[in-house]
């Protein structure tokens, strides 16, 4: 008898296993298949910093969470419907996220290993205790089943084509993926094509058929057995008309740069030094030489920054990117770019710090560094992306502002956005705003530091243009002529020019959008990757009848001209951040408003449920006239380590 299919509005799946065992691949393939099916989706890859972290350990677990839905969603989900836990450590690291009665699919042999149990901190096999009674636990010997499915590949006559037991065991991630594809009525064809393409290289083609066989075997096994009482179906979402593709934030940044280069006619030059999680931008752009993109991997962060300064001086759309530690190294040369007033873009894909910190975990802790991290008075525009699909628009805007105002622009993203994915509507290039570089060409009356009266931008005089020879460098320049000047009044004048130029960028910022009540009890103010959680939380609060609204900032320097007036309409301001309150300090100093924070510094995104709990606590306090903080909604980590 055919099993019934239960229709769901959405589902959250989390794939988890040791790093290097293919769980990122399994999760990514499920996400891509769901995107092609037409679901709205959001993903959260999470992996250790080590290339091969110690197997079986808690800190060596790699996971990939995907939420897919028939409606509009904004986060990868606070809780998990289905957990694929391939060993005890994977179970322990993710169990707290699983909903009551959620499905836990486990790989039985790994739970029979005393070593694995010890490394995960279990005294006994959790599958044999009452600890998992509130979940639907499904135990499968994926190793044995994968070996049986691929038995023929271990007996091939040609040694070069024959698979070892270790190679066969590695296909268990495809077996697990096949089971999950059946569970959610997803087709196999997309992943089959991906396998055929990915392994279509010398010495790797022998893995094509075995991986396809393992995928199909998992699908057949789930269908033929009584492990699952039903399968599930999440129908396609109703999206705005247009062409879509699944995109992560770093790819969105790369595509935005390519679009800005094409639109402006400026050659794109990207220089970088490998660093997680920013390296993917360099990798992506390196494959687009056909569009004139030139990429340069420098010997260190300082060289990458200096190369970008040189490229900007030479008339290119110059870009460099890094994460917090690398941005720190770039700051002196970035100050040079501010002093000589050259257009360029610097991207900071933030990660946990300080120092090397948490290289593969996300954080929003570089706002202070972005706004005031350089020496001297050296302001520059700062923007922040909010979603993977938003990255294209934000970096395109950064390029437009850099060229128009002749200034470096700093863009903030983070690891959550850089690696996370969601559907992206592919824009029509002709619909994008114009980017019009104004190169100096007439030597008559030319002065390198004369200024456009509207933008205060100086001329962009490309080296080699006849009659436009001029001084350049880090020493203070004389207003107009650009000659080296130590005059005190001139220094103050040039400092004010540079500051005022950045402030005039605020004229480009559209009116701030307030979602929810235009005035009321509580405004939730955010920036960066907290967007999805803040939006979901605000929607939940509004549905309950609370007097709340949200504002999410794209521009952090300068701030929108109308922000101060908006903040005054609300009795209380809540600012959720993945730091200890950097925007909160900034807003308090700027507007003398006693904003309150919800701060989480765990290398993980803020959950919508955490914001809802904090907001409801503040609203309750307001009604009671109380000042005490309700500790019940503060996340467990913060409670445990409150100082």
- The values of phi and psi at residue 211, to 5°, are -65, -40
Q: Are strands 61-69 and 10-18 parallel, antiparallel or unpaired?
A: antiparallel
**Three-state secondary structure readout of 215-273:** HHHHHHHHHHCCCCCCEEEECCCCCCCCCEEEEEHHHHHHHHHHHHHHHHCCCEEEEEC
Q: Among positive and negative, which fits the CA dihedral 569, 572, 578, 583? A: positive
Angstrom distance (rounded) from CA 364 to CA 350: 6
Spatial contact of 298 and 272, defined as CB atoms under 8 Å apart? yes
Token digits of residue 372: 């005031």
CA nearest neighbour of 340 among 408, 401, 269 = 408
Q: Are strands 80-85 and 98-107 parallel, antiparallel or unpaired?
A: parallel
Q: Going by C-beta distance under 8 Å and a sequence separation of 6 or more, which residues neighbour residue 240?
A: 425
Angstrom distance (rounded) from CA 478 to CA 448: 10
Provide the whole-model pTM: 0.94
Token digits of residue 403: 């060229």
CA nearest neighbour of 190 among 32, 59, 297 = 32
Angstrom distance (rounded) from CA 567 to CA 594: 10
Spatial contact of 601 and 635, defined as CB atoms under 8 Å apart? no
Angle between helices 324-340 and 301-313 (to 10 degrees): 30
Q: Going by C-beta distance under 8 Å and a sequence separation of 6 or more, which residues neighbour residue 226?
A: none
Q: What is the DSSP letter of 442?
A: -
Largest CA-CA distance found in the chain, in angstroms, rounded: 90
Spans of the chain below 50 pLDDT: 1, 627-629, 635-641
Distance of CA 499 to the CA centre of its chain: 30
Angstrom distance (rounded) from CA 99 to CA 134: 9
What is the pLDDT at residue 640? Answer: 42
Q: Where are the beta strands (DSSP E) in 542-599?
A: 548-553, 555-557, 570-577, 596-599
Give the helix/strand (H/E) hosting 536.
helix 531-543
Beta bridge pairs of residue 322: 348
What is the pLDDT at residue 633? Answer: 60
CA distances for 334 relative to 185, 254, 293, 427, angstroms: 52, 21, 22, 32
What is the pLDDT at residue 159? Answer: 87
Angstrom distance (rounded) from CA 340 to CA 342: 6
Torsion angle of C-alpha atoms 517, 239, 79, 356, degrees rounded to 10: -90
CA nearest neighbour of 340 among 282, 304, 380, 285 = 380
Spatial contact of 102 and 135, defined as CB atoms under 8 Å apart? yes
- The values of phi and psi at residue 503, to 5°, are -65, -30
Token digits of residue 256: 């935005």
DSSP three-state, residue 42: strand
Token digits of residue 275: 């660093």
Angstrom distance (rounded) from CA 76 to CA 40: 11
What is the pLDDT at residue 157? Answer: 87
pLDDT, tens digit (0-9, with 9 covering 90-100), for 305-356: 999 999 999 999 999 999 999 999 999 999 999 999 999 999 999 999 999 9
Angstrom distance (rounded) from CA 620 to CA 58: 39
CA nearest neighbour of 568 among 594, 532, 539, 600 = 594
Token digits of residue 617: 């606590």
Q: Helix H segments across 270-373?
A: 279-285, 301-313, 324-340, 367-372
Token digits of residue 23: 């769980």
pLDDT, tens digit (0-9, with 9 covering 90-100), for 387-404: 999 999 999 999 999 999
Burial track 53-75 (b if 16+ CB lie within 10 A, e otherwise):
bebbbbebbbbbbbbbbbeebbb
């Amino acid at each position: 008898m055919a099993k019934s299919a239960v229709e769901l509005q959405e589902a959250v799946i989390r794939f988890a296993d040791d790093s290097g065992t293919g769980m990122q691949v399994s999760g990514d393939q499920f996400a891509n298949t769901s995107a092609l099916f037409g679901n709205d989706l959001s993903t959260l890859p999470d992996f250790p910093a080590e290339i091969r972290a110690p197997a079986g350990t808690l800190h060596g677990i790699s996971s990939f969470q995907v939420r897919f839905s028939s409606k509009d969603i904004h986060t990868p989900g606070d809780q998990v419907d289905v957990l694929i836990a391939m060993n005890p450590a994977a179970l322990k690291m993710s169990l707290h996220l699983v909903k009551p009665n959620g499905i836990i699919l486990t790989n039985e042999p790994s739970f029979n290993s005393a070593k694995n149990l010890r490394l995960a901190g279990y005294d006994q096999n959790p599958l044999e205790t009452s600890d998992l009674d509130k979940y639907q636990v499904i135990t499968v010997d994926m190793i044995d089943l994968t070996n049986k499915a691929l038995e023929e590949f271990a007996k091939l006559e040609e040694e070069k084509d024959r698979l070892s037991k270790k190679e066969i065991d590695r296909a268990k991630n495809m077996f697990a993926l096949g089971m999950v594809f059946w569970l959610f009525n997803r087709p196999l064809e997309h992943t089959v094509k991906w396998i055929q393409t990915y392994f279509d290289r010398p010495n790797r083609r022998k893995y094509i058929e075995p991986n396809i066989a393992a995928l199909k075997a998992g699908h057949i096994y789930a269908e033929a057995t009584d492990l699952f009482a039903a399968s599930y179906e999440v129908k396609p979402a109703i999206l705005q008309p247009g062409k879509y593709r699944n995109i992560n934030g770093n790819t969105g940044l790369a595509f935005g740069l390519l679009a800005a280069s094409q639109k402006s006619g400026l050659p794109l030059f990207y220089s970088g030094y490998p660093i997680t999680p920013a390296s993917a931008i360099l990798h992506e752009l390196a494959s687009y030489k056909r569009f004139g993109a030139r990429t340069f991997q420098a010997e260190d962060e300082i060289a990458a920054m200096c190369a970008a300064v040189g490229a900007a001086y030479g008339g290119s759309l110059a870009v460099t990117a890094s994460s917090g530690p690398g941005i720190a190294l770039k700051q002196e040369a970035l100050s040079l770019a501010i002093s000589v007033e050259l257009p360029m873009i610097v991207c900071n894909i933030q990660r946990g710090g300080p120092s090397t910190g948490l290289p593969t975990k996300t954080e929003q802790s570089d706002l202070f560094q972005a706004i005031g991290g350089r020496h001297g008075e050296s302001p520059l525009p700062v923007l922040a992306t909010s979603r993977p699909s938003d990255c294209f628009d934000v970096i395109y805007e950064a390029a437009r502002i850099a060229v128009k105002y002749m200034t470096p622009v700093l863009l903030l993203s983070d690891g959550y956005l850089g690696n996370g994915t969601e559907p992206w509507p592919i824009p029509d290039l002709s619909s994008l705003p114009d980017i019009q570089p104004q190169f100096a060409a007439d030597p008559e009356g030319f002065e390198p530091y004369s200024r456009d009266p509207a933008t205060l931008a100086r001329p962009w005089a490309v080296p080699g243009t006849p009659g436009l020879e001029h001084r350049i460098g880090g020493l203070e320049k004389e207003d107009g002529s650009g000659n080296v000047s130590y005059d005190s009044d001139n220094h103050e004048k040039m400092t004010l020019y540079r500051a005022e130029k950045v402030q005039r960028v605020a004229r480009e910022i559209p009116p701030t959008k307030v979602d929810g009540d235009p005035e009321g009890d509580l405004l939730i103010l955010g920036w960066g990757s907290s967007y999805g959680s803040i939006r979901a939380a605000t929607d939940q609060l509004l549905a309950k009848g609370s007097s709340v609204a949200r504002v999410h900032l794209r521009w952090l320097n300068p701030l929108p001209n109308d922000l101060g007036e908006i903040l005054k309409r609300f009795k209380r301001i809540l600012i959720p951040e993945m730091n200890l309150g950097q925007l909160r300090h900034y807003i308090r100093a700027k507007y003398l408003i006693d904003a309150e924070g919800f701060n989480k510094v765990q290398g993980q995104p803020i959950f919508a449920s955490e914001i809802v709990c904090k907001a409801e606590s503040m609203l309750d306090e307001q009604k009671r006239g109380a000042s005490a903080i309700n500790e019940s909604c503060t996340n467990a980590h913060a409670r445990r380590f409150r100082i």
